[in-house]
Amino acid sequence: MKAEIPLYTKTRFGQPMPFAFLNLRKKGLYRRNPPLLSLVDTGSPWTSIMPSGIETMQLNKNKLKQPKEFTVVSVGGYKFNRLIIEDIDIVVRGVGVAALNNMPNISFLLPTKKVEGALLKDLPAIIGVDFIIGQGFNLRSDSKRGKWCFEVEKEEVKLI
């Protein structure tokens, strides 16, 4: 039986795009854990917390590890040092429905140099294809109505 998690549609960069809220669950990782508005991005290989999300969470950077590969990545024309946290639970919340999932790791992106711009301020997190595929989600869009949702087999995911 399929369940739907309706996503939020926000216009960013001149286009309607799918968003969800993301919360991390890992003891000792952060001082604050507000929901982070997250772009659902099928062009991003990793679920990543961006600089504004890291700042909002008051992240304990001592818990982060260096990944084996792709230590410097580009997002929106900016370069970032990529660090990871392993074995982490995340809650992805759409309109009225949320799912609790375990991820092998999540990326944290720290700028390689001081930069400013809308990407850094307005985008606290990105939900990438590692989450979408790894959790068995399908991303469905209704372009005529500007609606997005995740579809998932109910037995495969813990809905909360």
Distance CA 115, CA 109 (A): 13
3-class SS of residue 122: helix
Average pLDDT of span 146-151: 90
Domain count, the chain: 1
The pairing of strands 138-142 and 78-93 is: unpaired
- For 63, the token pair is 């818990």
CB 3 within 8 A of CB 97: yes
More confident: 157 or 17: 17
Range of the domain at 30: 2-159
| pTM of the model as a whole | 0.90
pLDDT digits (tens, 9 = 90+) for 64-116: 999 999 999 988 888 999 999 999 999 999 998 888 889 999 999 999 987 66
Asked whether the beta carbons of 58 and 36 are under 8 A apart, the reply is no
CATH (domain of 147): 2.40.70.10
Contacts of 39 (CB under 8 A, 6+ apart): 12, 17, 18, 19, 123, 125, 126, 127
